[in-house]
Amino acid sequence: MKILVCEDDPVVLKTMEVALRLEGTEVQLVSNGEKALACLAANRYDLIFSDIHMPYATGADVMEYVRQHNISTPVVIVSSDDEEEVVALARKMGVHAFLSKPVDVEKVRKIVRDLKK
């Protein structure tokens, strides 16, 4: 399973990497939205984790790219902003799941395990 993680917080990025590697996945890490969009243009992934607030392009921009290019990869939005309107916007965009920060490693691993079934 190949996973893209888009996150500008280095601590969260490392936490995600550790959680995903525990599941035996191939992980590509990027620290901003612009790099995420470049990765999506060049590669295919089985799952995408994206922060909603990133420099250069947001998690919403990542979701929009996925929709415009008919990419069927599930997207999980990760954010410290878990207000109802942000969660509702993420759901409206068609995200697979929404994770609040601080990231719960077990929740990350469960998402991966469920998708592997």
pLDDT in tens, 10-53: 999 999 999 999 999 999 999 999 999 999 999 999 999 999 88
Average per-residue pLDDT in the chain? 91
Give the domain range for residue 87.
2-116
Which CATH number do you get for residue 99?
3.40.50.2300
The structure's pTM equals 0.92
CA distances from 84 to 2, 87, 90, 92 (A): 30, 5, 10, 12
Checking if the pLDDT of 7 tops 70, the result is yes
- Domains held by the chain: number: 1
What is the dihedral sign for C-alpha 55, 22, 94, 86? negative
Average pLDDT of 2-8? 97
